[in-house]
Amino acid sequence: MGSKFEQEEESGISHFIEHMLLTSNLKYHKTSTRQIVEDLGGFINAFTTKEFTCIHGKVISEYSEILVEILIDIIKYPAFKQEDIEREKNVILNEIQSFNNNGMHVCQQKLLKNLFKGHPLSNEILGNRDSIRKFNREQLIEYYLETLNREIVICITGDFDEERIIDIINKKDIFNKKDIYIQIGILTSDSHSTPHAAQHLIRVL
């Protein structure tokens, strides 16, 4: 889910959905997912690029399983409440205005528009004012459900129990495909060497 996958009338929808994922959640009614993680001494956040959307978080190792559950619940149970949609529209419109007042950003966007002219990589991540104002709940949900069929990567680093984490992921039953590949070590495109760092990648193929 990123701006390069968007049609003209969908400009900015990936970034908009990113905002929605960290608002209300159908599973957590009394407090926000962000507040739960912050109460554990950690944090969660999200960002959107041209080619993917990332939801990330950090906690001490003893809470790693809780964090994984919450991050998956963020993906699985977004509420898309109408009041959240209207509020985030204003937030994103202000974000667009702020970037448009930034000379460096304007120059960068003009460069990308010319460099990738006619290619989806020229799409702006934030979208434009017209598209943002027109988005409705049904459109956001429909686009989001379509993106869940694409490849999802879960990357975890630190001290954690691999088997327990994989069990949590399987029990959440969010992924259409169940093949799980684990890479231990620094992940590179052509590296299959002996593990040399405490980095684990769990990839749902």
Q: How is residue 190 written in tokens?
A: 């052509």
Q: In this structure, is the dihedral angle defined by the CA atoms of residues 33, 72, 6 and 51, taken in order, positive or negative?
A: positive
The pLDDT assigned to 151 comes to 75
The pLDDT assigned to 147 comes to 86
Domains of the chain and any CATH numbers:
3-150 (3.30.830.10), 151-205 (no CATH)
For the chain of 205 residues, list the mean pLDDT of each consecutive stretch of 10.
Answer: 92 96 91 94 96 94 94 93 96 95 89 88 92 96 86 85 87 63 48 36 36
Indicate the burial class of 201 (C-beta count within 10 angstroms; 0-12, 13-18, 19 or more). Answer: middle
The pTM of this model reads 0.82
Quote the CA–CA distance of 191 and 69 in Å, as a whole number. Answer: 30
Quote the CA–CA distance of 154 and 100 in Å, as a whole number. Answer: 33
The pLDDT assigned to 108 comes to 87
Catalytic, out of 6, 8, 10, 18:
18
Query: Annotated catalytic, 18?
Result: yes
